[in-house]
Amino acid sequence: MTRRLRPDEKAAWEAMAAQVGKKEKPSRKPRELRPEEAALWEQIAASVRPLGNRPAAPALPRVKPPEGPRAEPVLPAVAHHLAGISVTDATLDAVWDRKIRTGEVLPDLVIDLHGYTREAAYNLLERRIRQAHERRARVVLIVTGKGRSTTPWPETPRGILKEELPRWLDQPGLRPYISALRPAHQRHGGMGAFYAILRRTRGE
């Protein structure tokens, strides 16, 4: 059985309940600083320097680029007795010849030169052959277009790109990448395309 509150206890309880139920209203106006607080604030503000007056950080030394010519990409090594042989005359083993003749060769990369000017076609060819070598591709299909001639390659004059392609691949900048150049099978363009068989990287 609980006892009843005395009058003084009841009054205290009611006062406490009234305080809990009230929501404290935010003050609309901040109070003013007392004199000693204002003096302390002025001292702190006087001791602070603006960021613009901070000393600048020391400049980093400039690194000069190395002098001398840029290093050229390393070309695959070519045997001396093959260096003077054209890509059209270079021989392949019997397995390669059979795959090319029967259309079993699957190109790893296609370079489509059809429709390019001579200069643009050469720049594209050089760039893509280097990329193919870096990717360790073996067969690159090069599309030149058939040109005007209908006589089988390479006995007669051909279109401009068809005529230039073997010469481009025989140049020192590209010859080390190429083992041989062969006309493509009909399924890959026939007289308008060629297989460039790339040299293997040593250690493969």
* Residue 82: partners with Cβ closer than 8 Å, 6 or more residues away: 90
Mean pLDDT per 10-residue run, the chain (204 residues)? Answer: 65 64 56 67 61 51 53 54 81 92 92 90 96 94 77 54 94 93 92 92 57
pLDDT at res. 26: 53
- The class that CATH gives domain 81-197 is alpha beta
Cα separations (Å) of 73 from 32, 176, 177, 178? 76, 12, 12, 16
pLDDT at res. 176: 93
pLDDT at res. 108: 95
DSSP letters spanning the chain: -PPPPPHHHHHHHHHHHHHHHSPPPPPSSPPPPPHHHHHHHHHHHHHPPPGGGSPPPPPPPPPPPPPSPPPPPPPPP--HHHHTS-TTT----HHHHHHHHHT----SEEEE-TT--HHHHHHHHHHHHHHHHHTT-SEEEEE----S--SPTTTS---HHHHHHHHHHHSTTTGGGEEEEEEPPGGGTGGGEEEEEEPPPTT-
Q: Taking the complete model, does pTM exceed 0.75, yes or no? A: no
pLDDT at res. 196: 96
pLDDT at res. 61: 46
pLDDT at res. 115: 83
Question: Could you state, in order of their start, the residue ranges of all structural domains in the chain?
Answer: 81-197
pLDDT at res. 40: 64
